[in-house]
Structure 1
Amino acid sequence: MGHPAGLFVLFFTEMWERFSYYGMRAILVIFLTGAITGENPGWGWEKPAALSLLGTYAMFVYLTPIVGGWLADNKIGYRSAVVVGALLMTLGHASMAIETPTFLYIGIFFLIIGNGFFKPNMTSIISKMYEGHDEKKDGAYNIFYMGVNAGAFLGIMLCGWLGENVGWSYGFGLAGIFMLLGMIQFYFAQPLFGNIGEKPKNEKKDMIDTLQEDLISKTEGVKEKLNRFVSIDYILIGAFIISALIFIVNDPLSKIGDINTLNFSVFGLENSLFFALLAAILFILILIVRIPRYDKIVRDRMIAFTIFCIFTIFFWAAFEQAAGSLPLYTRDYTDRVLEGNWATIFKIIDAVVTIVPIAIITYVLISLFRKTFNRISLSNIVLAISFIIVWGLVVYKLWINFSAEAKEVEITWFAILNSLFIIIFAPLFTKWWDSKYNPPASVKYGLGLIVMAIGFGLLAFATRNVPLGAESAKLSMVWLVLAYLFHTLGELFLSPMGLSYLSKLVPARMIAFMFGVYYLAIAIGNKMAHYVGGDIEKITEESGLSYFFLIFTVIPIGLGLISFALHPLLKRLMHGVK
């Protein structure tokens, strides 16, 4: 493909990490809220408790990379950070496989810390690998992110199938096995990277520290004054962090164990919600205080980027229902039993969408062997073992499926549709963005929100006749497939744009800081998603299931229309950035 072999080592490393992350996430809420009796019992948690834990976990997953990236940049190097992160995540998955509350929390802690080391430094290695070859960088990232989707696809399919049909411990354990294999193959492949990602030299860091004090960046040819942090900035940031942490920690504690770290209410709001609102207000104040102090062009562009971050929060607050409330809807309200010809058709489709992607990835693996076996034989052998396990599980899964007359589609099977649709439609969107019909930023954000909302609108229509408080129903799975289709199309409009516009709108010296702000927006969206999603039962009892999905239909459509309306303003604020 015209790219260095090291890229494909990173491809497979990221693939196994995403395999473990999405595989575990696919079964977590189903396991926690599952009935405590039966052949494969769950823990019988209340839905708000399970989704609160998931929301806090997802939020920290997007925050810890900020710290992990800094440590790799300044202390331990990218490669060591990836190995440490992968090892910690392996321990996390292994802990969750033990299936006790104590080991569940230990496992999630290790996953959060490990992700902070791992996640930011894979892309950093790619960036260093392609220095001086910018013309190939876009293609490299496209190949790399195919690894992300391939890992999500395989992880959800295999961990989900194993967890639902064999035992939850096996699903969590499989995620850990592939995280370990991914770490080992990366560790033994390091000779391919030369000095890329090594521990930074102290003298280089000292030089950077010295120059940073005198750094003056240029934007549009105009010298820009540094906007140094002052006392009020630190006070507001400190108060924001404290308020946010109280909410993040107290929310799951109060819902899981009835433990209230600060057991009081303010203005009639229970303490978790109060501190969440306080953190939001403080964050807005930080922006109001800091942004006006920048030079005009930088100030305007940062205001534009902040507006995009607000849209990002609400997009992910709706989209991430895929990890929380949608699996619950799939389990309780979808008719997943197929018989006769429909069962046969599904088995064939399932076999095709399973075998074809794995066959393509196996071809890439064989190509990598031919190029690198002499230099990194141990890494290649570990990869081969990984794929032998994958093919063995796939053959076993398909044999079980075809042996049964009827077929009950797994709850987690529907979650693979997101990765599948991305693989199908991403090339079409890439061609669109490269054409003269490439829409402006505000239109992309607006379309992303509205198209995603259509998916929830279809679910709202499908559930219109479900009685108030109904705990189950038998609705067609077609509605769920269509919902995932529109959610994915919305994601393709909006999600890849964030980092692209970040790099264009923000001065180079502020990329790291604003990268943190962008990931904070995604983290807030993830927590909001599961905070609201946890009330699916309560909303269903009081207003109906259709009303629950209407929330995620009306609000994104409204925000999408606002994004369209803001186009003239955003165009001015972006000062020529397209």
Structure 2
Amino acid sequence: MDSTAEDHFKNKVLGHPAGLFVLFFTEMWERFSYYGMRAILVIFLTGAILGDNPGWAWTTPAALSLLGTYAMLVYLTPLLGGWLADNKIGYRRAVVIGALLMTLGHASMAIETPTFLYIGITLLILGNGFFKPNMTSIISKMYEGHNEKKDGAYNIFYMGVNAGAFLGIMLCGWVGEKVGWSYGFGLAGIFMLLGMLQFYFAQPLFGTIGDKPLKSKRSDDAAAALKAGVTLNKFKPVDIALIGIFTISALIFIINDPLSKIGDIQSLNFSVGGMTDSLFFALLAAISFILLLLVRIPRYIKIERDRMIAFAIFCLFTIFFWAAFEQAAGSLPIYTRDFTDRFLEGNAAMGFKIVDLIVTVVPLVIITYVLLSLFRKTFNRIGLSNLILGTSFLIIWAIVIYKLYIEFQSTETEVPVTWFAILNSLFIIMFAPLFTKWWDSKYNPPASVKYFLGLALLGLGFAFLAFGARNVPSGAETASLSMAWLVFAYLFHTLGELCLSPMGLSYLSKLIPARMIAFMFGVYYLAIAIGNKLAHYVGGDIEQITQDHGLSGFFLIFTFIPIGLGVISLLLHPLLKRLMHGVR
């Protein structure tokens, strides 16, 4: 056991190393900035160019094309950032670099010009690549020799993730909508900067964990596999060719889709079989990747081959889950703005204000208690870091108090578009402990049932929206539908997420041999990335689909496909059970 890892347990906060809570708050501010920016991006880009808080009047396909490419790359760059940290610069330096790049990215977006928007998006993508994979790597190193404490540590850490998402959407959304878009983007950048400084000045707590590696590390997995008599599946020329076709086609699609829809740059668009945009390259990438799996997987020994086939099936379900779930960042805000009655008055307005006060203040009080617990244990060692963190919370409390003061002054209320997005984090905080107990009990269902539940609950959430919009005529540009449909949708989407989302990495660790974990980790994140891009590629057509088939028809797409795939998962249970060879 690493002696420095053991030293961390001599200075505990709430039963865990103090360093965990430094990571908790660093991740919280990063998620604050990420989700806060994302909550207002599409509303800002598609907002009317005139008015008190004008947007840019982009078309929906253009705005969601940019969001989709951004979301896709956010899931791919951590693969490179993780490798650089592992082999070149160390985890802690990678986190600081990533946080600095994201700070500059948010600052660029606050300037509100197209050039600085693209610069900002690029910096956020690169910064996320450095930041995201290395926070969990530091936790893993910190808990070496204390595996029994890891589950609790990750639960605490992911509470920070959800707390940051909750506060970021709540406050950046409110400031962006009610005060000004630049202020919303700028607020995200301020807390990313404070999070970076808080982490940087807390370095003494981490000892040598996350330091720059002394030399480039080389994995001995291949040697161990040969010693055990396992024949390695080396890459053949056909594998490399398929990887090349996939990479080039995917890059053309990722770059050309926003270029053609935002800048009307059509240089890579041509007609192939009736397809007149970069969808051709997306299909070519998909076909080449499927062929790669079909060529490579049969060359593994039977048990490895079968388990990899099972994991590939789970990845396929994962793509379609996120393609529907991520409508929450694209088409759902547009639906909320244009088709939902968000105006309240009288008792209804007062009731909402009280609910808003409770859901804002109670989580913030709990997080502040954690903050004070950290101060008591660490102020002597990392006083400057604590002061920066304390300043961050003073700013948060000031904004919250100002927000509540403004809201309680008026007799009527317009519920912000972004307010509904906080429901996901709120429901996760409420229901995650129940699901954890379920998965730990004797009633823990098999993988096929979990994927069925995740997809079916997701589809049911969209069914509420489809039912609520059933009387909206085709081609309608506005309506005044009940907010209740959105609440039900976010509730069932979150329940579906809790069933399916944590399963991917869990089954990755159980089904894939250690020597291939890194490669298949990349495949799994690629599945999520494709799902995110597909979500906004399809969501960008909300106006055209609504014109042709009605708003209800748009949401029925995301009702029937997930539920149908969930049923397929159930039907595949005997096959998946056999392919998994005893893994539960």
Unaligned runs of 5+ in 1: none
CA distance, structure 2, for counterparts of residue 544 and residue 408 of structure 1: 26
> Which residue of structure 1 lines up, in the alignment, with residue 123 of structure 2?
110
SS at the partner of 1:136?
helix
Deviation at 1:441, TM superposition (A): 0.5
Aligned length: 571
1:169 aligns with 2:193: no
> Which residue of structure 1 lines up, in the alignment, with residue 368 of structure 2?
362
The answer to whether the 8 A contact 2:320-2:562 is kept is: yes
Deviation digits for residues 482-508 of structure 1, max 9, x if unmatched? 000000000000001110110111111
CA distance, structure 1, for counterparts of residue 318 and residue 380 of structure 2: 46
Give TM-score scaled by structure 2 length. Answer: 0.97
CA distance, structure 1, for counterparts of residue 211 and residue 416 of structure 2: 44
> Which residue of structure 2 lines up, in the alignment, with residue 440 of structure 1?
446
**What are the within-5 Å matches in structure 2 for residues 46-125 of structure 1?**
46-125=59-138
Deviation at 1:261, TM superposition (A): 3.2
Give TM-score scaled by structure 1 length. Answer: 0.98
Deviation at 1:229, TM superposition (A): 1.3
Deviation at 1:224, TM superposition (A): 2.5
Unaligned runs of 5+ in 2: 1-13
More displaced stretch, 256-265 vs 60-69? 256-265
> Which residue of structure 2 lines up, in the alignment, with residue 34 of structure 1?
47
1:562 aligns with 2:574: no
User: What is the letter of the counterpart of residue 190 of structure 1?
Assistant: Q
> Which residue of structure 2 lines up, in the alignment, with residue 147 of structure 1?
160
Deviation digits for residues 29-68 of structure 1, max 9, x if unmatched? 0000000000000000000000000000000000000000
> Which residue of structure 1 lines up, in the alignment, with residue 504 of structure 2?
498
> Which residue of structure 2 lines up, in the alignment, with residue 382 of structure 1?
388
The answer to whether the 8 A contact 1:217-1:507 is kept is: no
Q: 2:194 aligns with which of 158, 181, 186?
A: 181
Moved over 4 A (4+): none
CA distance, structure 2, for counterparts of residue 152 and residue 262 of structure 1: 37
Deviation at 1:214, TM superposition (A): 2.2
Q: 1:422 aligns with which of 418, 422, 428?
A: 428
**What are the within-5 Å matches in structure 2 for residues 53-452 of structure 1?**
53-202=66-215, 205=216, 208=218, 211=220, 214-216=223-225, 223-452=229-458
User: What is the letter of the counterpart of residue 394 of structure 1?
Assistant: V
Deviation at 1:271, TM superposition (A): 3.3
SS at the partner of 1:407?
strand
CA distance, structure 1, for counterparts of residue 249 and residue 93 of structure 2: 33
RMSD: 1.0
CA distance, structure 2, for counterparts of residue 119 and residue 243 of structure 1: 26
The answer to whether the 8 A contact 1:48-1:531 is kept is: yes
Deviation at 1:213, TM superposition (A): 5.0
SS at the partner of 1:238?
helix
User: What is the letter of the counterpart of residue 354 of structure 1?
Assistant: T
CA distance, structure 1, for counterparts of residue 327 and residue 252 of structure 2: 24
CA distance, structure 2, for counterparts of residue 512 and residue 155 of structure 1: 31
1:517 aligns with 2:526: no
CA distance, structure 2, for counterparts of residue 509 and residue 379 of structure 1: 39
CA distance, structure 2, for counterparts of residue 506 and residue 399 of structure 1: 54
CA distance, structure 1, for counterparts of residue 567 and residue 230 of structure 2: 34
1:24 aligns with 2:30: no
Deviation at 1:230, TM superposition (A): 1.7
> Which residue of structure 2 lines up, in the alignment, with residue 462 of structure 1?
468
Deviation digits for residues 238-296 of structure 1, max 9, x if unmatched? 11000000001000000001002313111111231100000000010110111111111
CA distance, structure 1, for counterparts of residue 487 and residue 277 of structure 2: 38
Identity between Structure 1 and Structure 2 (%): 79
The answer to whether the 8 A contact 2:222-2:232 is kept is: no
SS at the partner of 1:184?
helix
Deviation at 1:509, TM superposition (A): 1.4
